[in-house]
Amino acid sequence: MSDRFQHAPLIATIAAVTVLAWIYLFHLSLQMSAAPGETMMAAMARATTAPWTARDVFLTFIMWTVMMVGMMAPSATPVLLLVANAPRTDRQRVPPVAWFGAGYVLVWIGFSAIAAITQWALHEGTFLSPAMTASSPRIAGAILIGAGLYQLTPLKHMCLTHCRSPIDFLMTHWRQGPLGPLGMGVHHGLYCVGCCWALMAVLFAVGVMNLAWVAALAVIILVEKTASSTVLVSTIAGAVLVIGGAIKLVSNA
């Protein structure tokens, strides 16, 4: 059986999860733009003078988790296909790729928790508007410049190189048993967070539920991990963010 058909179920699963995540995000976006009422997202878009409840924080966490799945699943496909090619013993009821994927997702769930808490703190400090965008152009500009500068750092490039070419790590650090692939998934996920966290922070400047920006950032992340020159792509993205942030600061000085 060719690799194309052998991995068809895995590819179909990733595609289905991605589509479902985006459907959920569109659903939440429509709720936010609907008539006033206490819907799931209405609580998250209250005026900044209204303190959040535990329910608001939890719903924000769910939103970030689904968003991370929708954004990161496509760019994780190459490494998941590599893991799927690993030999599997008859005693392994769960394939290594499932354990690896679970470890990868756990890292992004942790990131989503941090993002939700950060959003709550920004909300309580009135740094976010009811539409979940930066309440001040200066704050938005600073976020964009910070994210853009991180794109140019050696740490960004190191994490991106690992995410783009994980085959050496998989070949030299492969471990059998559930905890082996699970740990490798966590390890790889941490590199991906190191690669992408600043781009995710851009959403605090342009709108956490701005799906056009969510889609644009997802495309940038995918291109960064698949382009022939990752440094060029990340540098261009960083320069654009810095320039955009500078324009916001200057125009509102």
pLDDT digits (tens, 9 = 90+) for 37-46: 444 455 455 4
Query: Do the Cβ atoms of 150 and 238 come closer than 8 Å?
Result: yes
Give the per-residue pLDDT at 1.
Answer: 45
Which stretch of 12-21, 43-52, 232-241 has the lowest confidence by average pLDDT?
43-52
CA-based max dimension of the chain: 66
Return d(Cα 103, Cα 23) in angstroms, integer.
Answer: 24
Give residue 6's identity as a one-letter amino acid code.
Answer: Q
Percentage with pLDDT > 90 across the chain: 54
Give the per-residue pLDDT at 33.
Answer: 60
* Closest of 195, 41, 190, 194 to residue 119, by C-alpha: 41
Return d(Cα 45, Cα 42) in angstroms, integer.
Answer: 5
Q: In a 3-state reduction of DSSP, which class is residue 20?
A: helix
Beta-carbon count within 10 A of 157 CB: 16
The stretch 36-64 carries a mean pLDDT of 69
Query: Do the Cβ atoms of 193 and 111 come closer than 8 Å?
Result: yes
* Closest of 149, 142, 146, 147 to residue 250, by C-alpha: 142
Give the per-residue pLDDT at 177.
Answer: 75
Backbone angles phi, psi at 128, to 5 degrees: -115, 140
Return d(Cα 41, Cα 178) in angstroms, integer.
Answer: 37
Give yes or no for residue 186 having a pLDDT over 50.
Answer: yes
Q: Could you tell me the residue ranges of all domains in the chain?
A: 3-251
Give yes or no for residue 226 having a pLDDT over 90.
Answer: no
Give yes or no for residue 116 having a pLDDT over 90.
Answer: yes
* Closest of 24, 103, 29, 30 to residue 62, by C-alpha: 24
Give residue 159's identity as a one-letter amino acid code.
Answer: C
> Residue 91's pLDDT band (boundaries 50, 70, 90)?
low
Top mean-pLDDT range of 34-43, 218-227, 238-247 = 238-247
Query: Do the Cβ atoms of 100 and 184 come closer than 8 Å?
Result: yes
Give the per-residue pLDDT at 222.
Answer: 92
Give the per-residue pLDDT at 156.
Answer: 94
> Residue 173's pLDDT band (boundaries 50, 70, 90)?
confident
> Residue 53's pLDDT band (boundaries 50, 70, 90)?
confident
pLDDT digits (tens, 9 = 90+) for 211-223: 999 999 999 999 9
Return d(Cα 183, Cα 102) in angstroms, integer.
Answer: 9
Whether the full predicted model's pTM is greater than 0.95, yes or no, is no
Return d(Cα 17, Cα 105) in angstroms, integer.
Answer: 12
Return d(Cα 160, Cα 220) in angstroms, integer.
Answer: 12
Give yes or no for residue 75 having a pLDDT over 50.
Answer: yes
Cβ neighbours of residue 52 closer than 8 Å, sequence gap 6 or more: 46, 120, 123, 124
> Residue 164's pLDDT band (boundaries 50, 70, 90)?
confident
- The residue to which tokens 């988790």 are assigned: 65
Top mean-pLDDT range of 1-10, 59-68, 158-167, 230-239 = 59-68
